[in-house]
């Protein structure tokens, strides 16, 4: 499979993966999810000669600004919402369960699916320009790619509940204080340098021990909550509020929710 939305470069055993849809603020569409699946599930799944992956977003504005809303609307009829959420979760599980460390370097917006993508990575480095958020309730939705589970795992139930229910964005320093970001750097170049430093360090350790450590860490968390998220996401896409929310987003106006 040739990559259209991913740029791949290898340097000294480290794979630099850039999500490249800058005109769409790197929004996740079906093609991008398929390419991520191909990368983590096939092309690099057996690559034991690498130290890890550094994931970034192209351009100055966003890591990944969310899902592709226009594509989203056409994919949520009937039971499409649950299928869509399960698809995103399955791809993100490939990242979380990857045999080498994956570090996201976030510059600009990491919202909705973009925040969920960053959380699926093993570590996150935020630049001062980074902005995190789960704004799905603005669309009459809930996070569907693992956000209700991983945000709680990373920052705790109380603050995760607040951020999901208010759709508030937080900056890099707050993300670091809460434990969402491992480090904060001045800019993207410094963020990539920090990620490289970490992967060079982990790359000097026993490869089997690194892989088994990741397996054991992932085993701590149950997947039952992810199943509940899929079901809840599917139900939310069948509501009038969802239709109003996404229509208002596309039309750039405030949504008028009716609770139906």
Q: Which residues are catalytic?
A: 116, 136
In terms of Cα–Cα distance, which of 50, 55, 64 is closest to 8? 55
Q: Within 10 A of 49 (CB to CB), how many other CB atoms are there?
A: 9
| Residues 6+ away with beta carbon under 8 Å from 103 | 52, 53, 54, 55, 121, 122, 123, 124, 125, 195, 198, 199
Residue from 57, 202, 61 nearest 122 by CA: 202
| Residue pair 96/218 in contact by the 8 Å Cβ criterion | yes
- Helices 80-96 & 30-38 angle (0-180, nearest 10): 30
Residue 198, CA distances (Å) to 134, 182, 203, 210 in order: 27, 11, 8, 13
Contact yes or no for 134/147 (Cβ under 8 A)? yes
Distance CA(199)–CA(54), nearest Å, equals: 9
**211-218 LR contacts (CB < 8 Å, sep 24+):** 211/99, 211/100, 214/97, 214/98, 214/99, 214/101, 214/122, 215/97, 218/96, 218/97
Neighbours of 113 (CB within 10 A): 28
């Amino acid at each position: 499979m040739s990559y259209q939305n991913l740029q791949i470069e290898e340097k000294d055993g480290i794979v630099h993966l850039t999500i490249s849809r800058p005109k769409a603020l790197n929004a996740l569409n079906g093609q991008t999810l398929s390419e991520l699946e191909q990368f983590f599930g096939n092309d690099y799944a057996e690559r034991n000669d690498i130290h890890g992956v550094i994931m970034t977003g192209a351009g100055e504005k966003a890591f990944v600004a969310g899902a592709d809303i226009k594509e989203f609307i056409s994919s949520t009829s009937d039971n499409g919402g649950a299928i869509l959420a399960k698809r995103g979760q399955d791809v993100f599980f490939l990242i979380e369960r990857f045999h080498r460390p994956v570090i996201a370097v976030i510059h600009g917006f990491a919202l909705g699916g973009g925040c969920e993508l960053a959380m699926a990575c093993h570590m996150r480095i935020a630049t001062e320009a980074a902005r995190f958020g789960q704004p799905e309730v603005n669309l009459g939705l809930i996070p569907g790619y693992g956000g209700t589970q991983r945000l709680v795992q990373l920052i705790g139930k109380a603050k995760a509940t607040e951020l999901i229910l208010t759709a508030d964005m937080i900056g890099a320093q707050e993300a670091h204080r809460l434990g969402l970001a491992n480090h904060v750097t001045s800019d993207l170049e410094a963020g990539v340098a920090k990620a490289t430093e970490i992967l060079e360090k982990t790359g000097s350790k026993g490869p089997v021990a690194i892989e088994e450590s990741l397996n054991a860490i992932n085993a701590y968390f149950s997947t039952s909550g992810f199943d509940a998220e899929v079901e809840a996401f599917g139900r939310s896409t069948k509501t009038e509020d969802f239709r109003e929310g996404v229509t208002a987003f596309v039309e750039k106006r405030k949504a008028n929710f009716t609770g139906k």
